[in-house]
Amino acid sequence: MHALGRQNERMRRIAILYPGGLGSALGRAFVGVGHGVLTFVADRSEATRSRALAAGFQVAASLTEIARESDVIVSLVPPGAAIETARSLGACLADNGVSTRMARRPVFVEGNSVAPRTKLRIARILSQCGVRCVDGAFFGPANRVGRENLLGLSGPDYLEVADLFQEVIEVRAIGSTVGDAAALKMASTMLTKGLPALFLEIAGAAAKQGQLEAILSVLRKFYPGIVNFLERTLPTYPAYVSRRKCELQEAVSWLDDIGQCANMTRSAVTVFDSLQHTRLPGRNDWSFEDLLSDLGSSGFLCASRPG
């Protein structure tokens, strides 16, 4: 990996599909440095529409308008929706003949937490309508975008967008092939999602033995950085466990594709599956302590638990 130098700084129009947490933060950052940011929210929730408007997005009337008016399109959707998002854009271009009328087609940045195989499939879908695909991997906080974040880029066309993203986030070149940045993301995902899964197993066992507070005290003393990470991330899991599980399943697929053992990553998926079946309220205001207390009393990882 190496840092990239800055290129031209012309104002560009960026479309973000869609303005979830990271998408909204990224759009807000681009608006802040003077770029126009578009999105399409006709089929999205009211919360998504509200986030887009609050971040200063311009709301397009259709995906066709997105394709016609954008220089860069960034896909930031749940892993299971990544291929369909690319297909929808490609179908829109094909059905309306937009790609043949456009003097310059947009660059598509596939920024989702999916395996290299998935990104290569998306690149092939978009190449059929003349759209170039750049593999992007975002690291760092999902609710804000700044210099504490990192974006890895790969693919033959990554220089087309490197200067743009470098205005708002640290950018590093990962490789010349679509899938290189995805592989780095998958390796990171194994840690950032696998560690919470391991901790949930630890906390469940400690709670059953009446030692939850004791183990937390020990971990805070000897591993404060790990506990700080868990305190920031675990309270989001009741609301996003399905997405986290999908991200780990993509990592399992990647490991299978390259002939690597995926035993621990598969086990983490089963922990999240159990968490998903507890049906905890998917709210965003869980405290770390309350979440662990509720999970401990639920016995969600007990071997004898039905289902």
Q: 266: domain CATH number?
A: 1.10.1040.10
pLDDT of residue 307: 45
pLDDT of residue 154: 98
Read off the pTM.
Answer: 0.88
Q: Note whether 277 and 243 are same-domain residues.
A: yes
Q: What is the CATH number of the domain that holds 52?
A: 3.40.50.720
Q: Note whether 10 and 126 are same-domain residues.
A: yes
Q: Write the pLDDT tens digit of every residue in 131-146.
A: 999 999 999 988 889 8
Q: Note whether 193 and 282 are same-domain residues.
A: yes
Q: Note whether 224 and 147 are same-domain residues.
A: no
Q: Write the pLDDT tens digit of every residue in 234-257.
A: 999 998 999 999 999 999 999 999
Query: Which of these, 102, 45, 61, 108, lies nearest to 82 by C-alpha position?
Result: 108
Stretch (H or E) spanning 123? helix 116-127
User: Is residue 216 a part of any domain in this protein?
Assistant: yes
CA distance 276 to 109: 30
User: Is residue 72 a part of any domain in this protein?
Assistant: yes
Q: How many domains does the chain have?
A: 2
Q: Note whether 31 and 97 are same-domain residues.
A: yes
Stretch (H or E) spanning 143? none
pLDDT of residue 306: 44
From 131, 154, 178, the end of a domain falls on 178
From 144, 178, 212, the end of a domain falls on 178
User: Is residue 306 a part of any domain in this protein?
Assistant: no
Q: Write the pLDDT tens digit of every residue in 191-215.
A: 999 999 999 999 989 988 999 999 9
pLDDT of residue 279: 79
> What pairs with residue 136 in β-bridges?
153
Q: What's the average model confidence in pLDDT over 45-65?
A: 83
Q: Which residue has the higher pLDDT, 104 or 112?
A: 112
**Residue 303 — pLDDT band, cuts 50, 70, 90?**
low
User: Is residue 42 a part of any domain in this protein?
Assistant: yes
Q: Note whether 154 and 293 are same-domain residues.
A: no
Is 60 exceeded by the pLDDT of residue 8? no
User: Is residue 303 a part of any domain in this protein?
Assistant: no
Task: Report, in angstroms and rounded to the nearest whole number, the Rg of the chain calculated over CA atoms.
Answer: 21
Strands 36-39 and 58-59: parallel
Residue 252 domain boundaries: 186-298
Q: Note whether 200 and 281 are same-domain residues.
A: yes
CA distance 6 to 170: 11
User: Is residue 274 a part of any domain in this protein?
Assistant: yes
Q: Note whether 64 and 105 are same-domain residues.
A: yes
**CA triplet 99, 103, 107: central angle to 5 degrees?**
65
Q: Note whether 174 and 191 are same-domain residues.
A: no
> Distance from CA of residue 43 to its chain's centroid?
20
Q: What's the average model confidence in pLDDT over 100-113?
A: 80
Q: Which residue has the higher pLDDT, 159 or 47?
A: 159
**Residue 186 — pLDDT band, cuts 50, 70, 90?**
very high
Q: List the single range of 130-134, 171-175, 301-305 with lowest mean pLDDT.
A: 301-305
Sheet with 107-110, edge to edge strand ranges: 2-3, 170-175, 150-154, 132-139, 107-110, 72-75, 13-17, 36-39, 58-59
Q: Note whether 113 and 258 are same-domain residues.
A: no
From 109, 143, 178, the end of a domain falls on 178
User: Is residue 304 a part of any domain in this protein?
Assistant: no
Is 60 exceeded by the pLDDT of residue 4? no
Q: Note whether 169 and 205 are same-domain residues.
A: no
CA distance 171 to 162: 7
User: Is residue 279 a part of any domain in this protein?
Assistant: yes
Q: Note whether 194 and 173 are same-domain residues.
A: no
What does the block give as tokens for 71? 């220089």
